C-alpha cells in the first residue's frame, strides 16, 4: 500500500473518533514535513510516515482496557496491534518490525536509534504541545533535550513563536 492508502485504512480504523483522526493527521504532516526538509532517504521516510500514521493505534483499546492512554501500556499494546493492522498491506516483515518498534517506543526519549524514530518524536511533540497548550518553558526544554533536527527546531520556534535565547537565558529581539 501507498501512504495515502495506509492513511485511509487508519482513518477507517479510527471509527469516527475525530480527535484521534485529527491527531494522527497532524503528527503525520509534521513528521513528513521534517523528514522531507531533512532530506531523509526514501525508505526511512516511508517508515517514519507509516509510524506517524499508526503511532497511537492502541488509544481506543487502552481507553477501554485501562481507562486512560498513558505511556507504557499504550506502547506495548500498540506494538502488537500495529502488526495486525499492517498485515496484508504489502509491507515487508522488516518494515513491519521497524514500525512496530517505533510505535512501541514513541513515548521513550532515550536511545533514539534512527532518523525515523527522531522525527516521529518531533512530529508528535509539536502536535501534543499545540493540542495541549504546553508552556513556553516546557517547549524551550524540549528544544534543548528532545528536538534534534534543524527543521524540527525551526518548526517548533515557528509554530510557537519561540525567540532564540542568548547564552545567559535572556530573550533576544
Q: Kindly tell me which of 86 and 122 has the beta carbon lying closer to Fe ion.
A: 122
Q: How far is the CB of 141 from Fe ion (least distance, A)?
A: 19
Residue indicated by cell numbers 482496557: 65
Q: How far is the CB of 8 from Fe ion (least distance, A)?
A: 19
87: left (phi over 0), alpha (psi -120 to 50) or beta: beta
Q: Kindly tell me which of 122 and 143 has the beta carbon lying closer to Fe ion.
A: 122
C-alpha cell at 128: 501534543
> How open is the CA angle 16-60-65, to the nearest 5 degrees?
150
44 Cβ contact list (under 8 Å, min separation 6): 35, 114, 115, 116
Q: How far is the CB of 92 from Fe ion (least distance, A)?
A: 25
Q: Kindly tell me which of 28 and 46 has the beta carbon lying closer to Fe ion.
A: 28
Query: Which residues lie near Fe ion (CB under 5 A)?
Result: 56, 124
> Contact, 43 vs 64, CB < 8 A?
no
Q: Kindly tell me which of 102 and 143 has the beta carbon lying closer to Fe ion.
A: 102
Q: Kindly tell me which of 56 and 75 has the beta carbon lying closer to Fe ion.
A: 56
Q: How far apart are CA 157 and CA 135, in angstroms?
A: 13
Q: How far is the CB of 149 from Fe ion (least distance, A)?
A: 18
Q: How far is the CB of 110 from Fe ion (least distance, A)?
A: 18
Amino acid at each position: 500500500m501507498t501512504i495515502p492508502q495506509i492513511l485511509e485504512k487508519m482513518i477507517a480504523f479510527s471509527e469516527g473518533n475525530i480527535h484521534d483522526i485529527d491527531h494522527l493527521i497532524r503528527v503525520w504532516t509534521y513528521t513528513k514535513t521534517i523528514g522531507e526538509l531533512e532530506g531523509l532517504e526514501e525508505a526511512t521516510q516511508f517508515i517514519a510516515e507509516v509510524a506517524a500514521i499508526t503511532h497511537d493505534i492502541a488509544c481506543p483499546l487502552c481507553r477501554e482496557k485501562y481507562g486512560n492512554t498513558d505511556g507504557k501500556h499504550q506502547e506495548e499494546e500498540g506494538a502488537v496491534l500495529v502488526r495486525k493492522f499492517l498485515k496484508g498491506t504489502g509491507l515487508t516483515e522488516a518494515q513491519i518490525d521497524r514500525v512496530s518498534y517505533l510505535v512501541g517506543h514513541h513515548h521513550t526519549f532515550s536511545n533514539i536509534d534512527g532518523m525515523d524514530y527522531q522525527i516521529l518524536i518531533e512530529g508528535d511533540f509539536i502536535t501534543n504541545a499545540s493540542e495541549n497548550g504546553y508552556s513556553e518553558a516546557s517547549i524551550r526544554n524540549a528544544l534543548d533535550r528532545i528536538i534534534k533536527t534543524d527543521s524540527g527546531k525551526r518548526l517548533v520556534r515557528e509554530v510557537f513563536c519561540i525567540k532564540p535565547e542568548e547564552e545567559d537565558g535572556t530573550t533576544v529581539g
